[in-house]
Structure 1
Amino acid sequence: MLERYGHGGDLWTAEEAFGQPKEAFLDFSSNMNPLGPPQAVKIILSEGWRDIVKYPDPAVRELRSKLSAKYAIPVESILVGNGAAELIDLTARVLKPKVTGLARPSFSEYEEAVHKSGGEIYNIPLQAEYQFELQQQDVEAAYASVDLFFLGHPNNPTGKLIPGPVLEGLVQSGHRCVLDEAFMEFVPNEQDHSLLQQAANNPQLLVIRSMTKFYSIPGIRLGFMVAHPDWIRQIEQLQVQWSVNYLAQRIGSSVLDDVDYESKSWQWLHEEKTWLIQQLGQLGLEVVSSEVNFLLFSFPLSMGITVKQAQQHMGQQGILIRDASLFEGLDERYCRVAIRLREDNERLIAGLHNMLSDFKMNRG
């Protein structure tokens, strides 16, 4: 299984499974910006090595100041972490929810963090008939049973934003809510959907962001969260000293200034998402519309193909796809792929076409 450690992008496991060097694979299982890191990252890595003899700023002042200016949020409401994963874990440990409402399917680390803190899970179904959008009645049905909601906005693996009325009702309900906005930067009009600014003043709302996905720096590990200062202080007390290293702090501060990179990313995504959805549909696959840089699709029952079979076949072609059946709430027909550059996307479509032809021939 390629997702041996719970995530896509595991090139080491792919190397073991398919006998090809890591560099030979085209990875659609990990949802990174295919434009690669902004130019500032290359400069910092080539020149900043001289300064790693110094300790990083324990208060991450420069990056927090940049984030404060960019999003119009008080500095004391911002905490920077070693990736969103660290902040998800710390938040669950501080909030200590008894029962947490999770949308299904959603990112597995929410559940892991809740269980580590001793809590239980209340499942909120996302249904294919509604294109996996969170429904108001399902959220309201959870109110009597949960003391915390932990939701992706946009959600992974569905690529769906929480509808505005649902989100507004949830915030007004008075329930504590943690929103994971790890992919929000891929939404061109993110200010119309993000709750970062509300979280700075609302004690019932906490928002977590990843900087690794949009800026394509997963190996650096960088994320931040916004919450009422009282929560920030409590969460910070549990954080390991110097959690965010020197290079991560410098890179985070620099990439926020690259407006051209943002524009190019949105333009690429608009063009390639439209093209790839069309191509997958022409292959007969059932595609879920997405707000972000990845697509969830399923193999129709008539094809008789499971995602594990597809993953094996595609891996032998040097193409990695995500087994979405591992997300609770999805069956063995579901697959998730990142949206990449046109040349790579064409190779994905060609690989899927070869696979479907082989399966059809073998069945015939």
Structure 2
Amino acid sequence: MPSGLNSLGFAKAPADTRVVVAMSGGVDSSVVAAQLKEEGYDVVGVTLQLYDHGAALAKKGACCAGRDIHDARRVAETMGFPHYVLDYETLFRESVIDEFADSYLAGATPVPCIRCNERVKFRDLLNVARDLDADCMATGHYIRRFDGPHGPELHRAADAARDQSYFLFSTTPEQLAFLRFPLGGLASKAETRALAARHGLPVADKPDSQDICFVPNGNYAAVIEKLRPGAAEPGEIVDHEGRVLGRHDGVIRYTVGQRRGLGIGGLDEPLFVVRLDADKRQVVVGPRELLRSRNVALKEVNWLGDGPLEGEHEVLVRVRSTRQPVPATLRPAPGGAEVTLFTPEEGVAPGQACVFYAPEGTRVLGGGWIVRAA
């Protein structure tokens, strides 16, 4: 940080720097708010109510649920800064939940957390922060932001196990200029919890949320059936050559790469879900090698590198949030981009994201949404 700038990069005292903190009620965003308040910043906490309070209270460990709103308020009271709750239920349903349901019905495997960051937190909530005359907005994401020679850059977190860059690839340069991620440089989650304990926060020992916030216990099919009654139509389980092997109760109950629970025992070799054909209501299965893809087509590409995406680039890419980045070639294509993996990857599924990284270092170069893999 250049001399004369505070820890958030502004040339003024922390007390003269207003920062809106997006508070989910979890330990990460709570520590961000507490730490900034201790450093003397003018902190304003904001929590979003994203869906029905009654249903939310019944689900433990969910992001932005009724219990979490209560926890965020308690943290604000403990540290002595104002806290607001905004009703974003309609926007969240229209911008995130509806697309999630429709994508699953179309046989894709969506990532609603990315859409939530893109369409709610980093768009509408960011505008709220500006309306509150904030200098910036801070979140509890584990990712780093550096000021580079051509503007702000997004980098992977110092703790690779906590890195959330996969979920933030669609952040635009304009949004990045206004955002701050104070936890990105921490060595581990244990360090975050130690800070929470030092500040005496009531959420210091609160468990991390494991599920998508509106999907109780990871039961996607139950949520889709509730959102789209009658959508789980039965159909055939077929092999990659079209031979019928069995029946299913709805393609929404299956994911690419799935092996267990297919109900087609007695075969000579293990079979995996290699494709979902929603139009034909077919679950297509095959041997493991059919899961491997090398060429990946993308849409809605967001580029965070220097200058526009042009020509061919050697990059690292991550095709699932749980995968490590691997070498690939990236090039523009009509409507998006194409990626060629140096080594084929298993389970590359439409609806997932493909995130680009610089071949050396930690910089995030952007990403796009997978539309097909071959």
TM-score (norm 1): 0.28
More helix, by proportion:
1
More strand, by proportion:
2
**Larger Rg over CA atoms:** 2
